[in-house]
Amino acid sequence: MSTFLEQIEQQLQVALAEGNLESLRPVLNDEYPADLADALERLDLDDQYAVFQLLEPELAAEVLNELGAETTRRILEQMPVAEVGALLDEMAMDDAVEILTEDVSPGMREALLDEMEPEDAAEVKRLLQYPPQSAGLLMTEKYVRVRAEITAGQALDHVRKVDDEVETVHDLYVLDNTHKLIGVVSLRRIITSPPESLVADIMETDLVTVPPDMDQEKVARLISRYDFLAMPVTKADGRMLGIITIDDAMDVLTEENTEDILRLGAVESAGLDQPYFTIPLWRVIRSRFGWLLLLFLADTLTGNVLRVFEDELSAVVALSFYIPLLIGTGGNTGSQTVSTIIRGMAVQDIHAKDLWRVLRRELVGGLLLGAMLGVVALGRSYLWDQNVSLALVVALSVVVICSWANLIGSFIPMLARRFNIDPAVISAPLITTLVDATGLFIYLMIARLLLGI
Amino acid sequence: MSTFLEQIEQQLQVALAEGNLESLRPVLNDEYPADLADALERLDLDDQYAVFQLLEPELAAEVLNELGAETTRRILEQMPVAEVGALLDEMAMDDAVEILTEDVSPGMREALLDEMEPEDAAEVKRLLQYPPQSAGLLMTEKYVRVRAEITAGQALDHVRKVDDEVETVHDLYVLDNTHKLIGVVSLRRIITSPPESLVADIMETDLVTVPPDMDQEKVARLISRYDFLAMPVTKADGRMLGIITIDDAMDVLTEENTEDILRLGAVESAGLDQPYFTIPLWRVIRSRFGWLLLLFLADTLTGNVLRVFEDELSAVVALSFYIPLLIGTGGNTGSQTVSTIIRGMAVQDIHAKDLWRVLRRELVGGLLLGAMLGVVALGRSYLWDQNVSLALVVALSVVVICSWANLIGSFIPMLARRFNIDPAVISAPLITTLVDATGLFIYLMIARLLLGI
């Protein structure tokens, strides 16, 4: 809770002002990593490293994990390589992989691997072979493995012995002598079963496992779906590679959601996954300008459409007064559809094969919404201009544009998914921009036909 | 994984066609609740209840939890009240509360409470007193409680004896004789400590707890932040009320993210939190029409602005060709900012007190983006119309509109938060619509001043 954080911040301010940081050592080492990380993020650059050095290695490793990429990089740059290597050894190896791939240069990565304990370095190197965003990179090999032939009592003793070396003891993984996963048994089951019962008799054999190249978001949704605390990762032949724990799954879901929300707003999310105020402004500009420029250029199409209908617009000046209203309505309808479809795909309610079903549904929805809004438009336009034909043009345009926006807003994200593009990249503003130009065309064509100009 | 689901679906199709559902009973009762729920959602209405009846009570309760509101309601309607009451007894009480508040009528709720075991009904009634969306509604009172004076060995024996209904045994909660929470000790710690050590000596006393009226999303983010498997809920005086488990926290985060994405797209999310295809179309229309209408009416402002500048628009016809382009750019810039700010607030990087810092940052960002895009606009306009003054008007408008959109896009969500309105309700389309009218005004005022018309 934020009260912890405020306490730490206050104590840090006082200690820094008085110049006796050292006195804080016992206090800091008693805090939660996430709170310490937040407090560090808010300090001046010069103080960050000084405070970080006060932390015990195990805690320091956890804090490093919670820090944003920018701060991590700055702290690691100031630290002797050997110390960084030792810190990485303290971490869960999937976290070490994250730092080695995202926060340090490739040259530095090699140097650090040399400094790490050979066994850890070997695990990291194995993990580094998996593709970006894959389950493999989230894995830890430090889980409890037991044989099916031992008893519950023996399994409990085994847990006691390996405690220090593993990340979690909630589930025990039962492997055969070819290292194949044949069962899972929870610690709860081990404890509540008679000590002499065989693991083989109490283990769960209906297993859900994932391959190491599965997308991380998919794995996270499976963990959430089945209410697991960890998901085993196996090779195609059933051999056990490691486990992915629920805390990592939660982090993945949070990151994916950030990505979706930013992309829906046409912000490229790469490099923005850290606290708002710590992102350098130039990086924000870079993440936003590309999309803005592309959309700007696409929007110049609307100018072209208007030029094509120059005669109509000069003949009936009032036509131009409805332009922002109509493209606005098209854009809003499109945004609604994109949000709905993208969310439906993210939580896996909508699959690629559902394309036609989705289009039919959205077309009907668009027609209904358009009809309801068309009635309002008819009234509003007539009140404004007292021109029945014009009011009919506006109302009919609303109906067609709403239906069209619904179709585009569902078709394009689903098409993206088919080509394995993250549908959120096809952001709401892109759909809006597409609907702008095409909606204008629809409106002015209807005007040309109905008004006979 | 979907393979499980496909297997179930196939087997169901065959059994339903052959009319011997009964033969599936053992198979179904061996499946995961989430898979069964998905398979049920895809069946015809008539078959759903027939299949559901084959499930053992415990599994049936879990499946009910995973089903969408619509299907849950349909199944419960067909079931004798006494059976529903028994099913609710099987559930974690926070899940029973969810069904009783969201899926049945108030009258039905009373009838069901009468059918439940008195102890469970009493727990549900206690939980029902907490406000909607509050931590209290996610709580279970079925956790492991121990005294500080007992030994690790005694604690382990206690876990062995503990009720089947206890939801999780990963953490043991240490209460004093006034029922105050004084410590937490993990089962792992209990197992690995010498059996004769006192719980008082091995328990963690630096506790993070939440009050029962805290917002569910906040609690979920705290659970994720501290990598907890469960969060204790206490009264202001420290007395223990219950725990919230990580699987519920994950569900809350997923729901909140759905809500944010839909609201950002101007879709009111109430009632839409269920699989895409199972939501009746009329409900989708209802969730979308309100916002569309409001935005439509707001967008009629643009018509008023244009009418004010009718003289300028007739004098320089080319002015109107830039209208969609300029309001499009303003809308896109605004969407980017809204997405960034809303996400920053959701993950608690941005607090209400940061208002001025945020506005300053977004103003500078808007000016920079506007300047870069303004250069492009200058060139594009000059190529089109060969009119230097007009090109300058367009370019300057881009700069001012981008800055303005950035300000509006950050100010309004932050204002909403101050008044305790979910900032995502102030959706991207609303900001876009606001920027439409004001952006037009900015553009045409600049035209009036610079072109001297």
For chain A, give the number of residues.
453
Least confidently predicted of A129-133, A378-382, B424-428: B424-428
**Whose CA is closest to B244, among B221, B267, B270?**
B221
Most B CBs within 10 Å, among A227, A289, A401, to test the B interface = A227
Measured between CA atoms, the residue of chain B closest to residue A380 is: B300
B246 and A251: CB-CB below 8 Å? no
Min Cα–Cα distance to chain A from B259, Å:
9
Higher pLDDT, A363 or A282: A363
Min Cα–Cα distance to chain A from B182, Å:
17
pLDDT band at A191 (very low <50, low <70, confident <90, very high): very high
* CA dihedral sign of residues A363, A369, A375, A377: negative
pLDDT band at B229 (very low <50, low <70, confident <90, very high): very high
Mean pLDDT of A50-59: 91
**Greatest CA span in chain A, whole angstroms?**
94
Measured between CA atoms, the residue of chain B closest to residue A227 is: B247
Give the separation between CA B52 and CA A32, rounded to whole angstroms: 45
What share of chain B in percent tops pLDDT 90? 51
Closest in B253, B260, B321 to A303, CB measured = B321
- Residue numbers of A between 169 and 208 with CB closer than 8 Å to B: 169-170, 187-188, 191-192, 206, 208
Least confidently predicted of A195-204, B186-195, B348-357, B422-431: B422-431
Residue A443 sits at the vertex; the CA angle it makes with A439 and A444, to the nearest 5 degrees, is 120
Mean pLDDT of B332-348: 89
**Whose CA is closest to A385, among A323, A316, A314, A315?**
A316
Chain B interface includes A261 (CB < 8 A): yes
DSSP state of B212: T
Q: Which phi and psi (to 5°) does residue B32 adopt?
A: -80, 140
Is the pLDDT score of A150 beyond 90?
yes
Mean pLDDT of A275-304: 86
Chain A interface includes B329 (CB < 8 A): yes
**Whose CA is closest to B417, among B355, B375, B337?**
B355
A325 and B307: CB-CB below 8 Å? no
Higher pLDDT, A401 or B422: A401
Mean pLDDT of B175-182: 96
Give the separation between CA B424 and CA B260, rounded to whole angstroms: 6
pLDDT band at B220 (very low <50, low <70, confident <90, very high): very high
A264 and B160: CB-CB below 8 Å? no
Mean pLDDT of A380-402: 93
DSSP E strands, A163-252 = 171-175, 181-186, 230-234, 240-245
Query: What is the token pair recorded at B408?
Result: 């509006």
Query: What ipTM goes with this model?
Result: 0.86
pLDDT band at B360 (very low <50, low <70, confident <90, very high): very high
Q: Which residue has the tokens 């939440």?
A: B210
Give the separation between CA B213 and CA B233, rounded to whole angstroms: 9
What per-residue confidence (pLDDT) applies to B175? 97
Secondary structure (3-state) at A309: coil
Give the separation between CA A32 and CA A164, rounded to whole angstroms: 20
> Could you read off the pLDDT of A101-140 as tens digits, one per residue?
888 888 888 999 999 999 999 999 999 999 988 999 999 9
Min Cα–Cα distance to chain B from A430, Å:
9
Mean pLDDT estimate for chain A: 90
What per-residue confidence (pLDDT) applies to B3? 61
What per-residue confidence (pLDDT) applies to B428? 83
Q: Which phi and psi (to 5°) does residue B245 adopt?
A: -95, 160
Roughly what angle, to the nearest 10 degrees, separates helices B323-346 and B246-264?
Answer: 160
Pairing status of strand B240-245 against strand B230-234? antiparallel
DSSP state of A131: P
Which amino acid is residue A103, in one-letter code? Answer: D
Min Cα–Cα distance to chain B from A114, Å:
30
A281 and B1: CB-CB below 8 Å? no
Higher pLDDT, A45 or A272: A45
Asked whether the beta carbons of B143 and B230 are under 8 A apart, the reply is yes
Closest in A160, A264, A343 to B258, CB measured = A343
Mean pLDDT of A259-271: 82
B267 and A339: CB-CB below 8 Å? yes
Give the separation between CA A376 and CA A381, rounded to whole angstroms: 9
Mean pLDDT estimate for chain B: 89
Chain B interface includes A321 (CB < 8 A): yes
Is the pLDDT score of B307 beyond 60?
yes
Residue A140, strand partner residues: A243
What per-residue confidence (pLDDT) applies to A3? 62
What per-residue confidence (pLDDT) applies to B205? 92
Mean pLDDT of B240-248: 95
Mean pLDDT of A141-166: 93
Give the separation between CA B127 and CA B139, rounded to whole angstroms: 8
> Could you read off the pLDDT of A402-449 as tens digits, one per residue?
999 999 999 999 998 888 888 877 778 888 889 988 999 999 999 999
Is the pLDDT score of B1 beyond 50?
no
pLDDT band at B228 (very low <50, low <70, confident <90, very high): very high
Asked whether the beta carbons of B244 and B233 are under 8 A apart, the reply is yes
Chain A interface includes B159 (CB < 8 A): yes
What per-residue confidence (pLDDT) applies to B221? 92
Chain A interface includes B333 (CB < 8 A): yes
